[in-house]
């Protein structure tokens, strides 16, 4: 009856950074082997060639590299926004909606008041407006969570779709040309409300904004008193209350910050990348960023690496798709497989597995 | 009158796919697992069923609708169970975070569906060319005699067998959860796994089984859309946001399968209501489309401040259970 299992596992007390990296590299390697198998089964292509093509798709030309960087920045920005919420164990699944509302505010300003005020003022207004939009959208579920403990995972999830419908609602009024059911490129001629190019680079401001936010968040979470309070609430609400921290206040404050940064991501997407607004402006990035923020364990620097990895994969997969006539949804399949392995790898970082030594006799 | 009948019919047709998804998710959530991979799993079920039928019809000289139906049913269920198994291994055995794993599974499953959907379409000769009409005819077959009755026949008996199967499944699940010993055990696992464990219930086994079977049931929702709703064809992202509606319905039904039945029809009705209100501008139509989500939010808020015990989410929902870390 009392059969002893072959292996036993125990929580690791600590783990060296080298070993941690080794485990992740191993997981990534295994994931790529599985992906290669899948690719081979599907297209009978040499997987090495396929990976070469992926590299080419993500970083092959200067233009492609910049697009990779552009998308990396947006993903990073959202993940940075989500980090404090998750650290507080507040499951903000609503980044998608917060981005859309932020982007919507930007688009509204670009369309309606671009010709009435100077461009710099417009851009500043857009930045603030988007942040405010995301903030409000993030605060709604937080208010209910703080007051009645309403489940925030499900609430924020639902708000994504409400935001989407608000966007389609507005598109009806803004559509250009009429009847196209899309907004088109906003202010294509005047470029009003577009983040201006600096030193011949379209994405200069994107880089500046996201880097500032990333560094700010790193310092905020690690060295500020507020960041510490976030960590305490995340570890245990009871401890926080005992220590005299107002959980409600921390929750509202942290989600304001989180929502505002996601709103800014919407601003970047509209003003600094797409110059348009649609329901796919967020395009699932809000969900992908959740995985980024979680895997990086709220360490903003690790987020840069993981965001890069994911965007690289996506761009690469689009390239193999067009090069080998594969359907471009292959990228999501491959990304999914890689994520499964990386998520699974976390277990081996937290726990160690040892073989049980058999007792004498049987 | 005629319009009303059509409206009810359409609402039920829209609702049944969501009902399958919600039933699967209810079973899963009762074990304490919040599987946000359900939208992806529905895609996996849908495409696997379609591919099963497609290759059967291609390979056989005179395909038999019933055989095609059984093959697609089996493929859809099996593929969706694999999706559930991936989730279970990661969250139960490897103790990964449920939300993150679920979202990754949705990314994977949606891609999986669209990828194979696109590829099979290509095999079939181009976009929109894939069609398994023989198999779909089995899914769309109506009950003879009864469906010809006026009004009653249209409202109650004009659907394929999956619709009635969904209703039976909901009743059976309700009976299982609230009237059997195993159902009680499962709910105990979802409410308080530590206590269940102490009472000698195999927590891991219950979680695995509930999650995998739940995924299989949700996969049938995907199959329903492909076979009965779309008549055996595939469009990329064809389910739209219905997978998330299924997750919403679980909350709306307050984790009770019987509530999910009328809830699904209500959701279906809300989903298409904008088509039936005369004089609605295009912009107002979009507002109406947000109704299912708004209604869900309202239910969520109301249940959270009424605090009635039997209407709450399972207490252990989303909380991982590790015996040695209590």
Contacts of A144 in chain B (CB under 8 A): 301, 304
Taking an 8 Å cut-off on Cβ atoms, the answer to whether B99 and A344 are in contact is no
Quote the tokens at residue A234: 């995340």
8 Å CB contact between B177 and B257: yes
Q: What is the DSSP letter of A197?
A: P
Domains and CATH numbers, chain A: 1-44+329-362 (no CATH), 64-314 (1.10.3470)
The size of the A-B interface in CB pairs under 8 A is: 153
Contacts of A291 in chain B (CB under 8 A): 100, 103-104
pLDDT-derived band at A1 (thresholds 50, 70, 90) equals: very low
Taking an 8 Å cut-off on Cβ atoms, the answer to whether A169 and B283 are in contact is yes
Which position has the token pair 């930045």? A127
Provide ipTM, 2 decimals.
0.87
Rounded CA-CA distance B186/B315 in Å is 13
H helices, E strands: number in chain A: 13, 2
Predicted TM-score (pTM) of this structure: 0.88
Q: Which chain A residue lies closest to B306 (C-alpha atoms)?
A: A148
Taking an 8 Å cut-off on Cβ atoms, the answer to whether A327 and B122 are in contact is yes
8 Å CB contact between A279 and A97: no
CA dihedral B205, B208, B209, B212 (to 10 degrees): -170
pLDDT, tens digit, 9 for 90 and up, residues B187-220: 999 988 889 999 999 999 999 999 999 999 999 9
Whole-number percent of chain A with pLDDT over 90: 21
The alpha-carbon gap from B293 to the nearest alpha carbon of chain A, in Å, equals 6
- Which residue in A291, A337, A344 is closest to B103 by CB distance? A291
Q: B15 lies in which domain range?
A: 2-325
Is residue A5 scored above 70 in pLDDT?
no
Rounded CA-CA distance B43/B221 in Å is 9
Q: Which chain A residue lies closest to B86 (C-alpha atoms)?
A: A340
Residue B25 confidence (pLDDT): 95
- Which residue in B96, B236, B244 is closest to A161 by CB distance? B244
Taking an 8 Å cut-off on Cβ atoms, the answer to whether A11 and B296 are in contact is no
Taking an 8 Å cut-off on Cβ atoms, the answer to whether A154 and B103 are in contact is no
Q: Which chain A residue lies closest to B108 (C-alpha atoms)?
A: A336
Q: Which chain B residue lies closest to A290 (C-alpha atoms)?
A: B100
Q: CATH code at B290?
A: 1.10.3470
Rounded CA-CA distance B45/B88 in Å is 17
pLDDT, tens digit, 9 for 90 and up, residues A172-221: 888 777 777 777 787 777 777 787 777 777 788 888 899 999 999 989 98
Taking an 8 Å cut-off on Cβ atoms, the answer to whether A165 and B289 are in contact is yes
pLDDT, tens digit, 9 for 90 and up, residues A264-293: 999 999 888 888 888 888 778 888 898 888
Taking an 8 Å cut-off on Cβ atoms, the answer to whether A155 and B300 are in contact is yes
| Number of separate domains in chain B | 1
Identify the residue with better confidence: B208 or B142.
B208
Residue B176 confidence (pLDDT): 94
Contacts of A285 in chain B (CB under 8 A): none
């Amino acid at each position: 009856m009392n059969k002893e299992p072959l292996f036993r596992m125990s929580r690791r007390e600590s783990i060296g950074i080298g070993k941690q990296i080794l485990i992740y590299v191993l997981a990534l390697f295994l994931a790529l082997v599985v992906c290669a198998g899948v690719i081979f089964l599907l297209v009978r292509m040499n997987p090495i060639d396929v990976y070469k093509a992926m590299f080419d798709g993500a970083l092959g030309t200067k233009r492609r590299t910049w697009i990779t960087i552009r998308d990396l920045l947006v993903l990073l920005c959202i993940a940075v926004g989500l980090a404090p919420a998750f650290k507080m164990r507040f499951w903000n699944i609503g980044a998608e909606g917060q981005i859309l509302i932020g982007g919507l505010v930007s688009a509204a300003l670009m369309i309606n008041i671009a010709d009435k005020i100077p461009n710099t003022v417009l851009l500043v207004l857009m930045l603030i407006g988007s942040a405010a939009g995301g903030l409000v959208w993030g605060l709604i579920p937080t208010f209910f969570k703080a007051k009645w403990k309403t489940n925030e995972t499900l609430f924020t999830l639902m708000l994504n779709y409400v935001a989407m419908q608000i966007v389609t609602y507005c598109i009806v009024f803004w559509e250009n040309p009429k009847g196209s059911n899309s907004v088109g490129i906003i202010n294509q001629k005047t470029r009003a409300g577009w983040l201006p190019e600096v030193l011949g680079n379209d994405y200069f401001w994107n880089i500046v904004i996201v880097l500032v936010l990333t560094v700010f968040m790193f310092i905020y979470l690690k060295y500020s008193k507020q960041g510490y309070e976030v960590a305490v609430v995340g570890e245990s609400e009871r401890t926080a209350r005992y220590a005299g921290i107002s959980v409600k206040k921390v929750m509202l404050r942290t989600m304001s910050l989180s929502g505002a940064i996601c709103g800014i991501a919407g601003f970047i997407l509209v003003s600094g990348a797409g110059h348009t607004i649609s329901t796919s402006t967020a395009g699932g990035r809000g969900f992908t960023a959740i995985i980024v923020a979680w895997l990086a364990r709220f360490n903003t620097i690790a987020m840069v690496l993981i965001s890069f990895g994911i965007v690289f994969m996506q761009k690469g997969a689009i390239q193999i798709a067009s090069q080998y006539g594969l359907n471009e949804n292959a990228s999501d399949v491959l990304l999914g497989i890689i994520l499964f392995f990386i998520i699974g790898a976390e277990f081996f970082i937290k726990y160690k597995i040892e073989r049980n030594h058999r007792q004498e006799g049987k | 009158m005629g319009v009303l009948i059509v409206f009810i019919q359409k609402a039920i047709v829209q609702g049944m796919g969501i009902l399958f998804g919600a039933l699967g998710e209810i079973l899963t959530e009762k074990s304490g697992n919040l599987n946000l991979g359900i939208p992806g799993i529905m895609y996996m079920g849908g495409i696997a069923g379609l591919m099963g039928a497609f290759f059967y019809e291609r390979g056989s000289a005179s395909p038999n609708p019933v055989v095609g139906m059984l093959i697609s049913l089996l493929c859809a269920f099996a593929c969706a169970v694999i999706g559930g198994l991936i989730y279970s291994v990661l969250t139960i055995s490897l103790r990964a975070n449920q939300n993150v794993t679920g979202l990754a599974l949705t990314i994977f499953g949606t891609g999986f569906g669209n990828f194979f959907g696109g590829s099979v379409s290509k095999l079939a000769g181009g976009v929109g060319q894939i069609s398994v009409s023989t198999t779909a005819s089995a899914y769309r077959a109506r009950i003879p005699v009864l469906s010809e009755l006026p009004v009653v026949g249209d409202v109650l008996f004009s659907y394929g067998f999956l619709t009635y199967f969904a209703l039976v499944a909901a009743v059976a699940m309700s009976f299982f959860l609230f009237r059997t010993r195993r159902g009680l055990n499962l709910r105990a696992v979802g409410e308080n796994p530590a206590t269940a464990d102490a009472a000698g219930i195999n927590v891991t086994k219950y979680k695995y089984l509930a999650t995998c079977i739940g995924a299989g049931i949700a996969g049938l929702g995907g199959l329903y859309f492909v076979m009965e709703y779309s008549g055996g064809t595939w469009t990329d992202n064809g389910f739209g946001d219905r997978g998330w509606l299924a997750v919403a319905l679980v909350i709306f039904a307050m984790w009770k399968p019987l509530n999910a039945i009328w809830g699904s029809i209500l959701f279906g009705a809300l989903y298409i209501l904008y088509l039936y209100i005369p004089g609605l501008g295009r912009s107002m139509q979009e507002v109406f489309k947000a109704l299912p989500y708004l209604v869900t939010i309202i239910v969520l808020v109301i249940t959270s401040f009424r605090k009635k015990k039997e209407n709450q989410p399972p207490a252990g929902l989303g909380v991982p259970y590790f015996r040695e870390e209590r």
